[in-house]
Copies of this chain bind each other. A is one copy, B any other.
Amino acid sequence: MATLTTVTVPVPRSDKGEATRAAIATAAQALFLERGYDKTTMRAVAERAGVSLGNAYYYFGSKEHLIQAFYDRIQVEHTAAAEAALAHETTFAGRLRGTLTAWVDVAEPYHHFAGKFFKVAAEPASPLSPFSPESAPAREASVALMARVVDGADLKVPATVRGELPELLWLAQMGVVLFWVHDSSEGRRRTRQLVDRAVPLVDRLVRLTRLPGVRGAADDIVALVRSLRA
């Protein structure tokens, strides 16, 4: 259940195992896309992968574990798509907007079962929680991407703020994801609108931190975030 012990990772120990594992993951992703999460049964996944039901469980501890692959996949695709935007954007707002929009683009094919995604990810004990140790690699990659957004930009802000900015922007991105999950407009029109409208605002807020009166508050926010990370 919700034990705190390290999860037994059913990682393959040989080439043969690796192939089987990959076959199962591939079958799962295909079926999830075709029918959605609920209508995809473990039996169907096993059958398409050409293995027995029990064997699927040898490699993936649960049906939910099959979702992790999407996580990683989106993360990788997002980084690639964002790079394209970052290559020709020099302003902070432009870079942030490009990066967030890239995410919306990349994630679109998965939106129809993103709710299930999210549901699973929301459970604190789940390895799929964005805050979990298991998600650390993907999370750090996302934070690193936000660091690139900041680094290549024309941004003049206090060092304290700048240091925490990537992580704060990642949090903002989680907010966008939250909105996106609930967004049923075609092509995620409303999420794109949110990004378009929120980015200039974030840009403005970040720059405001140079104001004497605001800077103190900003430093407090940074201190608070730091204290929470522990």
A binding-site residues for B, Cβ under 8 Å = 1-2, 4, 38, 115-116, 118-126, 129, 131, 179, 181-182, 184, 190, 193-194, 197-198, 200-201, 204-205, 208, 211, 213-214, 217, 220-221, 224, 227-228
Contacts and interface: CB of A to CB of B under 8 A. Distances in A.
Contacts of A208: 213-214, 217
Contact of A131 (B119, B182, B204): B182
Contact of A224 (B129, B184, B197): B197
Contacts of A181: 124
A101 B3 CA distance: 28
Nearest to A120: B119
Contact of A123 (B115, B126, B184): B115
Contacts of A211: 211, 213-214
B119 A115 contact: no
A55 B143 CA distance: 50
A120 to B, nearest CB: 7
Given A118-B124, A119-B119, A224 B204 contact: no
Given A1-B38, A197-B224, 7 more contacts: A4-B184, A116-B123, A118-B122, A179-B228, A197-B227, A201-B217, A211-B213
Contacts of A1: 38
A193 B223 CA distance: 13
Contacts of A200: 220
Contacts of A224: 194, 197-198, 201
A134 to B, nearest CB: 14
Contact of A119 (B123, B182, B184): B123
Contacts of A227: 193, 197
Please list the 7 inter-chain residue pairs (A to B) with the smallest Cβ-Cβ separation, ordered nearest first. Answer: A122-B122, A119-B123, A124-B182, A115-B124, A115-B123, A119-B122, A204-B217
Contacts of A182: 124, 129, 131
